[in-house]
């Protein structure tokens, strides 16, 4: 079929905003046909080269729990995520195992909404970051066996090391979102992730691995559907 090829071209050769508009207008006419929506979703979520902090967590991170204070001596037993997270062609971080169970059309709509939200929020994370950590969109298929959305279930789903899973700091109840920056001129768009999170029943705002590694994984995610967790991931540096 030519449909997967067309979907791939839409996803990778023209701007995403135009791609989604084109795909949405085309697919709206045919309703929920999976042979249309599934290839479009798969093309957008096709694995591309690792970038930003996702690449750092593979090749250039600092492990403290094994005493190396640099890249771990044994990368088989000391890692951030295993298998490593992937970056899709559309710029969204995803697990290596990508098996969405929900309707492709609804998944595609959530992907489009997430990328739209990315354009409205402050890109930098803050939270006492001594670097320039930025929020990156994240999509994680969810199933009944994954249980409720908790810091432990999310990190386990993503394959985080047990040292990281055991060192989470909740930022959801803090008025300043764990941020030590008290600059009153801070862009109000930084409040958007929290407002968006609170519009969903299950959501998390936290970082993990303080004093264990750098950069620390940070999350602002919500269960947007019973079968999908969406939001943002990033990395910050603490010393």
CA distances from 11 to 37, 42, 46, 49, 76 (A): 13, 10, 9, 15, 34
Q: How far is it, in rounded angstroms, from Cα 142 to Cα 225?
A: 9
Name which of 102, 63, 92 is nearest 79 in CA terms. Answer: 63
pLDDT band at residue 120 under the 50/70/90 scheme: confident
Q: What is the pLDDT of residue 168?
A: 96
Residues 6 or more apart whose CB falls under 8 angstroms from that of 176 comprise 182
Q: How far is it, in rounded angstroms, from Cα 229 to Cα 154?
A: 9
Q: How far is it, in rounded angstroms, from Cα 175 to Cα 58?
A: 33
pLDDT digits (tens, 9 = 90+) for 75-118: 899 999 999 999 999 899 999 998 888 888 899 889 989 988 88
Q: How far is it, in rounded angstroms, from Cα 78 to Cα 222?
A: 28
Residue 79, token pair as written in the block: 């890692």
Q: For residue 173, is pLDDT > 90? A: no
Backbone torsions φ then ψ of 186, nearest 5 degrees = -55, 135
Q: How far is it, in rounded angstroms, from Cα 82 to Cα 134?
A: 22
pLDDT band at residue 30 under the 50/70/90 scheme: low
148-157 mean pLDDT: 97
- Residue 66: is it exposed, middle or buried by C-beta count within 10 angstroms (0-12/13-18/19+)? middle
Backbone torsions φ then ψ of 180, nearest 5 degrees = -80, -5
pLDDT digits (tens, 9 = 90+) for 208-225: 999 999 999 999 999 999
Residue 47, token pair as written in the block: 């694995």
Q: How far is it, in rounded angstroms, from Cα 139 to Cα 106?
A: 13
Q: For residue 197, is pLDDT > 70? A: yes
């Amino acid at each position: 079929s030519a449909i997967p090829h067309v979907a791939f071209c839409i996803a990778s050769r023209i701007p995403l905003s135009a791609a989604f508009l084109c795909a949405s207008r085309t697919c709206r006419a045919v309703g929920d046909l999976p042979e249309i929506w599934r290839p479009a979703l798969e093309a957008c979520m096709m694995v591309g080269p690792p970038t930003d902090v996702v690449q750092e967590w593979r090749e250039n991170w600092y492990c403290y729990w094994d005493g190396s204070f640099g890249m771990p001596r044994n990368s088989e037993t000391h890692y951030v995520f295993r298998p490593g997270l992937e970056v899709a062609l559309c710029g969204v971080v995803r697990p290596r195992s990508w098996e969405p169970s929900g309707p492709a059309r609804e998944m595609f709509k959530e992907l489009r909404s997430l990328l739209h939200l990315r354009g409205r929020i402050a890109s930098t994370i803050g939270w006492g970051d001594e670097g320039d950590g930025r929020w990156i969109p994240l999509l994680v298929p969810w199933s009944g066996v994954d249980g409720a959305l908790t810091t432990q279930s999310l990190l386990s789903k993503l394959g985080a090391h047990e040292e990281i899973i055991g060192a989470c700091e909740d930022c959801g109840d803090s008025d300043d979102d764990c941020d030590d920056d008290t600059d009153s001129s801070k862009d109000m768009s930084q409040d958007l992730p929290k407002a968006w999170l609170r519009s969903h029943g299950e959501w998390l705002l936290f970082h993990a691995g303080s004093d264990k590694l750098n950069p620390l994984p940070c999350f602002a995610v919500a269960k947007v559907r019973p079968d999908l967790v969406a939001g943002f991931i990033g990395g910050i540096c603490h010393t």
